[in-house]
Amino acid sequence: MRIKILGIQIHKKNKIMVTFTCPIGEGIGVWKSQEKVFIGTDVDVELDVSGILIFNQDVVCVEEKEEKIYLKDNQVHIRGRIEQIEWDNILTVRLGKSILLIEVEDIAIYEVDKWIEIKTKELDLSEVIF
């Protein structure tokens, strides 16, 4: 996903937090790349949500059929459509021209083409170099 860096903050243990905008909204994430990042630059990144996500806690089904990233209650919310379900509890979620892979506790709850919203306190961002 292509993002534009709006702000950079360095936290404890040199954790770099970046605020960003993208075609489907705005968010904040942890910069995981070795490459330095600068305010105002456009960067291609891979989004990652760590851990196993639990239905009705970290992931909910939604009626709104619009890809979106936004901040609410100190969490990043990511809304997208389930594109694929893998046997090993991995969901492929469509976010505009990009995808996000997430691991869920139980795949039996989910269906392809259904819309979900993911809540996370920490979204990881890794630069993709083509």
Q: Please state the domain extents for the chain.
A: 2-127
Mean pLDDT of the chain: 95
Average pLDDT over residues 100-116: 95
This prediction has a pTM of 0.93
pLDDT at residue number 66: 96
Query: Which residues are within 8 A (CB) of 110 and not within 5 positions of it... i.e. 6 or more apart?
Result: 82, 85, 91, 104, 116
Q: Which is more confidently placed, 111 or 130?
A: 111
